[in-house]
Every structure is written in structure tokens, then in C-alpha cells.
Structure 1
Amino acid sequence: MFRYAIIFAVVALVAALLGFGGIAGLSAEFAKILLIVAAVLFVVGIVFGRGRRTIP
């Protein structure tokens, strides 16, 4: 998911350099949303992934 956030950020930068403000803004918003969701999922995975592992 971090990969998609980076791809959208690059698309936003390229679109901004070429003068496409609407596409750049939309891509930047998608990148921000994906980055937040990925970070939350990462933290939840770390918190709930830790546990006592019993050896059978």
C-alpha cells in the first residue's frame, strides 16, 4: 500500500510540473489517504501481531 501512495505522489508531482492542477491535487489527496491507511494498518499489525507464542 505504501507503494501505491508513492506512485500517486509521483503522479501528483509530474502533473503539477506539467500544469495539470486538478489531477495533481486529486493524486496528492489519494496519496495522503493511502499513506494514512497504510500507516494505521502497520501500527495495528504491530500492536495485535505481538502475542505470546506457545510452542506445541
Structure 2
Amino acid sequence: MIRWALIFLVVALIAAVLGFGGIAGAAASIAKILFYIFVISLLISVVMILINKSKR
């Protein structure tokens, strides 16, 4: 999933340099959404690992 976020980030940066506002905005918003999903997934994974370690 982080791969897709990075791909959309690169697309947004290239589109911003070329001046395509709509494409850059859409790609940037998709990259942001994927980034937040990745961060939430990471936090859930860390919490689950800590809970499993405490049960042992």
C-alpha cells in the first residue's frame, strides 16, 4: 500500500511541475488517503504485537 502512496505522490509532483492542477490535486489527495490508511494499519499492527507479547 505504501507503494501506491509513493506512486501517486510522484504522479502529483510531476503533474504539479507541468502545471496540471486537477491531476495533481487528485493524485495528491489519493496519496494522502493511502498514507493515512498505512499509518493507521501500522499503529494497529504495533498494538496487536504488544498485546500478543504481554499474553506470553
TM-score (normalised: structure 1): 0.86
% identity of equivalent residues: 46
In proportion to residue count, which structure has more helix? 2
Superposition deviation, residue 49 in structure 1: 2.5
Counterpart in 2 of 1:17? Answer: 17
CA distance in 2 between partners of 1:37 and 1:20 (Å):
26
CA distance in 2 between partners of 1:20 and 1:49 (Å):
43
Structure 1 vs Structure 2 CA RMSD: 1.3
CA distance in 1 between partners of 2:44 and 2:30 (Å):
21
Q: Say if 2:51 is the partner of 1:40.
A: no
Identify unmatched segments of 5+ residues in structure 2. none
Identify unmatched segments of 5+ residues in structure 1. none
Superposition deviation, residue 27 in structure 1: 0.3
CA distance in 2 between partners of 1:49 and 1:36 (Å):
20
